Structure 1
Amino acid sequence: MSTPLRWRLLDEETGVTLADFTDIDGLFIDRVFPIEPSYERYTLLSCAPSGPLLAAIDGTGPAWFGNFVVEGAHDPGRPVGERCEDQCWECAQNMEELLDVRVIGHRPAADGSGLLDIDLEGHRRDDDNNQGGTVAPMVSGYRLLVWSTVNGSSEETSAGKCRDIAGLFHERPESWPPGPPLTLLGCRPGLSGSFQAELAHVRVDGTAHTMGWEQRVFGSVVTSRPSTLGDDLVDVVLDARIPEPMAANDRQMWGMWRAGGPTQPNLWAQLDRSDRYLWVGAAAIHRIHAPDKPAGTVYHLDGRHSTDYDAFFCAIGEAVNGPGGWFGGDLFWLHENAATGGGGATPGFRMIWHNSEVARTHLVSGYDRKSWRPAVTFDDLVQCLTEDGVQLELR
């Protein structure tokens, strides 16, 4: 029996197959998902608090207020707290978002200004602003904002201003370090030199599903050796690393998709929320692109297991596209698929949401420590679907 070649490298520009191989060391690694953030302490120096920050200090409001934004004016000569015009690109690059923040202390400012030094605890949203949060921008001070979601729209509330911030700008370990050097196991001979390639997962029927930018393979061959997986195969050692390696518990799930995908609905129901998120990602990559089903098709959403945000997307994906189906993994793609098509259902379709009370009970207002945003509620989902033309029937 020939050895199955489960993976493929495709030239990034031409799409030409560079190599087929059985397995790949360095793609799946033993890591916790999602990565738990490191909480840090920040101090707002010479701060004039207002709004929710002032309420947290004087006791008229909660010490915890979710996400906190510090925005520095790009012009160092601009007075503290004075904002540039809306959508100023330079100021946007000086913005930092702190997550799950609470006030843990305050005292008179050390500079004798009569203002306050305020201690916060939280963690920084991982982004590229200010060289990944390592270098403080050249600004004269910061405007402070609290972002919240009201009726599905983001709103900002002023929380005051401060002269400087201690503890925010410094080197941190990579939140998602690259994987180890890659070895292509059981590879057909012929791969050599340097290349820039996309990685694709190959089903037993030969269908290849290209993965994302986070799993690209840029590098060159270091050495090849005979493989134990077949007399005519080699193991190829690369100097490349996967930018964002996948969770070890992804491997079994991907093996199921390779064999054809789930054969019955609700197999995801036994998973916890983190693995349900992985399920939705696997479903997105392995989706079979086909024309939308005819107008007038009625879809039945089994809501018995919709106890969290990711469970809803597992359930609606299967309602539209069968076991292991995908119909979005967030509100953006839910809107795109429902309103404009391309996800398997012709817009304007009718959907019967069975056992909708489960989601109504579990998807409630609060702070979602998976997305680090205000939680998406049952009412938010209903509003999104109905505004996008879905004829929704709740049962």
Structure 2
Amino acid sequence: MPNPPRWRLLDMNTDVTLTECADVDGLFVDHVFPVEPDYERYTLVGCAPSGPLRAAVDGTGPAWLGNVLLEGAHVPDVPVSHRCGDGCAECWDIMEELLDVRVVGHRTTGDGSGRLDIDLDGHRRDSDSNGGGTRPPTVAGHRLFTCSGTEETAAGECRDVTNLFHARPEVWPEGPPLTLRGCRTALTGPVEAELAHVRVDGTVNSMGWGHRVVGNVLDVAPSALGDDLVDITLDARIPEPLAANDRPLWDMWRAGGPTEPNGWAPLERSDRHLWVRAAAIHRIHAPDKPAGTVYHLDGRFVTDYDAFYCAIGEAINGPGGWFGGDLFWLHENAATGDGGATPGFRLVWHHSEVARAHLVPGYDRKSWDRAVTFDDLVQFLTQEGVRLELR
């Protein structure tokens, strides 16, 4: 059995170690996450289109709309118990967003109103709104907007939308029931624990909320991994299990992490995303380096959005380093510090022409939104106070 054990369970309330184990059956599963969504056919019933939707229907604009927001119109007689503090109907419960939407047909509604029934292909953004998309909200129609990043463009209104509210497969289904293999300490009764990854040098990295262990002990049995060890079976399930192809990355970080730069370069974008996520969990918190430190970003392999975060993480914090995985965390680290660099730092982006050629306008089917371009990143970094030099 490895010494120290690979995994540790920390009590969610006290942070006390409950047990340590060599392996966790049910943490790595043979799936790819998140699950690719199924495209569906929706109909906007009694629609009065405007803007880009009108152009798509008329054929004067593209049929593809990108993302479409449906905002439920307020119903005056919604019970007070279902209203928010400012008196409006439950705002978040009457919002839905459709992704990668295309107009595929239309016809007159047939009630003499002159409105249209418009058919769309797309898929619903996974969220908890409206019972996870299974419960139609009480609304008097929908206002429609096309969305690009934070920009919204009015696209008309409709009386109803069909086929939007029904059960769908989980985008990130829970893992199977857990068995903790080779545990040093037996457990009994209910368990509420944070799961942490333990490196060979003893460094402990908490996995976060998506990997918590909450359930009851079903069985404790002697383990084949050692005479003094036990296997613990629980009815707990990991909320967001790791994909089986994550395991080599975790083995590498377990052994100490990357030692050479650009270990992520041969990976496809999806695996680069896994790299950034593993780097975030295994980051070593240390004081920001002194003001005036100059950082060099190797841009030779920045051919996609996730590659940028792999590269800037290494530029700031060395091989396997992390400096954010999206614009929110890039802002937090660049503008407010605590990411390894004192705000206002100088960043030299070498071979920036690679990113300029690859990070171009379009639709990103990884983030399901407008693609973040090279120019977007340059503008963002500059606005966050980074003294950027492109080479």
- Settle same-fold status: TM greater than 0.5: yes
Matches within 5 A, 1:351-390: 351-390=347-386
CA distance in 1, matches of 2:77, 2:366: 39
Aligned to 1:81: none
CA distance in 2, matches of 1:380, 1:390: 14
Alpha-carbon distance change, 231 to 248 in structure 1, aligned in 2, over 3 angstroms: same
Contact 1:3 1:230 in 2 (8 A): no
1:155 paired to 2:151:
yes
Aligned to 2:288: 292
Alpha-carbon distance change, 2 to 35 in structure 1, aligned in 2, over 3 angstroms: closer
Matches within 5 A, 1:32-111: 32-75=32-75, 90-111=90-111
Q: Deviations over 1:264-287 (max 9, x none)?
A: 000000110001001000000000
Size of the alignment, in residue pairs? 386
1:255 paired to 2:251:
yes
Q: Displacement, 1:93?
A: 2.0
SS at match of 2:153: strand
SS at match of 1:311: helix
Q: Displacement, 1:342?
A: 0.3
CA distance in 2, matches of 1:76, 1:321: 54
Aligned to 1:209: 205
Contact 1:33 1:274 in 2 (8 A): no
Contact 2:287 2:338 in 1 (8 A): yes
CA distance in 2, matches of 1:300, 1:144: 45
CA distance in 2, matches of 1:135, 1:253: 40
Contact 2:107 2:116 in 1 (8 A): yes
Q: Displacement, 1:227?
A: 0.9
Q: Deviations over 1:301-340 (max 9, x none)?
A: 0000000000000000000000000000001111111111
Q: Deviations over 1:40-74 (max 9, x none)?
A: 00000111111111100100000001000111123
Q: Displacement, 1:157?
A: 1.1
Contact 1:77 1:140 in 2 (8 A): no
Matches within 5 A, 1:1-395: 4-75=4-75, 90-149=90-149, 154-395=150-391
Q: Deviations over 1:243-280 (max 9, x none)?
A: 11111111110010011000100000011000100100
Q: Deviations over 1:178-218 (max 9, x none)?
A: 10000000111331111210000001111110011111100
Q: Displacement, 1:88?
A: 5.2
CA distance in 2, matches of 1:340, 1:325: 18
CA distance in 1, matches of 2:44, 2:141: 10
CA distance in 2, matches of 1:110, 1:276: 51
CA distance in 2, matches of 1:234, 1:77: 59
What is the identity percentage for the equivalent residue pairs of Structure 1 and Structure 2?
A: 73
Instruction: Give the letter for the 2:144 counterpart.
Output: L
Contact 2:280 2:322 in 1 (8 A): yes
In structure 1, the gaps of 5 or more residues are 79-83
Q: Displacement, 1:35?
A: 1.8
CA distance in 2, matches of 1:76, 1:55: 32
Contact 1:71 1:92 in 2 (8 A): no
CA distance in 2, matches of 1:57, 1:5: 61
Q: Displacement, 1:87?
A: 11
SS at match of 2:376: helix
SS at match of 2:119: strand
Q: Deviations over 1:215-260 (max 9, x none)?
A: 1100111101111111111111111000111111111100100110
CA distance in 2, matches of 1:285, 1:44: 43
Q: Displacement, 1:108?
A: 1.0
RMSD value over aligned CA atoms?
A: 1.8
CA distance in 2, matches of 1:387, 1:139: 40
In structure 2, the gaps of 5 or more residues are 79-83
TM (norm. structure 1) is: 0.95
CA distance in 2, matches of 1:303, 1:89: 48
Contact 2:186 2:230 in 1 (8 A): no
Instruction: Give the letter for the 1:61 counterpart.
Output: G
Instruction: Give the letter for the 2:252 counterpart.
Output: M
SS at match of 2:265: helix
TM (norm. structure 2) is: 0.96
Contact 2:4 2:198 in 1 (8 A): no
Q: Displacement, 1:390?
A: 1.0
Aligned to 2:81: none
CA distance in 1, matches of 2:261, 2:214: 37
Alpha-carbon distance change, 212 to 359 in structure 1, aligned in 2, over 3 angstroms: same
SS at match of 1:179: coil
Contact 2:8 2:20 in 1 (8 A): yes
